[in-house]
Amino acid sequence: MNVKICGITTLDDALAAVEAGGDMLGFNFYPPSPRYIEPAACTLMVAALRARGASTTMVGVFVNMPPGRVAAILDECGLDLAQLSGDEPPSDLMMLGERAFKGIRPGDAAEAVALAARYVVRIAPPVLLVDASAGAGQFGGTGQIGDWDAAAAAAVHPILLAGGLRPENVAAAIAAVKPWGVDVASGVESSPGRKDAAKMRAFVRAARFG
């Protein structure tokens, strides 16, 4: 089971996430988020991780940012992938090609199927992130548990499952949805934007071993 630990804001948290067994680290470039990180700070962090031999996949999280700027930040920071978590059209994904996948927030199974049909353009996994449905202007990171039936409808594709996951519920979520991987942010934090090393270790263990 692949594990993405998202909303990394410090090098100490990034190192602890890698040590815990995280396969992917997420860096949030959406300014209203409590997990926002400046591109310059991310660049230094990713360089430090690579210098320590980290082979972890580095993911930038973007909300309604022009694809040209997304590509520039990927290059500047040395990131592997972009996660588009706003209201971006499929054309933004097409412009970024294999460098990007879409975050969706379906309200039910039918909407999940429709959104997957619209946004699955990437070949390599993950092809989607499925998050909890939220109100207008909410783009993830709320801690709200998603609709696992809706996520399961999209999981015919290799998806990352997000939305209110914690060490206590991630095994049940995996059993219900059967995703390619899981994504966690608030569920392994001591406070918004600051990770808890013990919670990250517990989350990875639960995701992989139940």
**Contacting residues for 31 by C-beta, under 8 A, at least 6 apart:** none
* Residues with a known catalytic role: 6, 131
User: Residue 144: what pLDDT?
Assistant: 78
2: amino acid identity, one letter: N
Q: Which two tokens stand for residue 47?
A: 């360089």
Mean pLDDT by 10 residues, the chain (210 residues): 98 98 98 96 98 96 98 98 97 97 96 97 96 66 82 98 97 98 97 96 97
User: Residue 74: what pLDDT?
Assistant: 98
User: Residue 17: what pLDDT?
Assistant: 98
- Residue 176 exposed, middle or buried by CB count within 10 Å (0-12, 13-18, 19+): middle
Q: Are 137 and 112 in contact (CB under 8 A)?
A: no
User: Residue 139: what pLDDT?
Assistant: 57
Q: Are 93 and 119 in contact (CB under 8 A)?
A: yes
User: Residue 135: what pLDDT?
Assistant: 59
Q: How far apart are CA 144 and CA 100, in angstroms?
A: 24
Domain parsing of the chain, residue ranges: 2-209
Average confidence score pLDDT of the chain: 95
User: Residue 182: what pLDDT?
Assistant: 98
DSSP 197: H
User: Residue 133: what pLDDT?
Assistant: 78
- CATH of region 2-209, choose from 3.40.50.300, 3.20.20.150, 3.20.20.70, 3.30.465.10: 3.20.20.70
Residue 66: count of CB within 10 angstroms of its CB? 12
Q: Are 129 and 160 in contact (CB under 8 A)?
A: yes
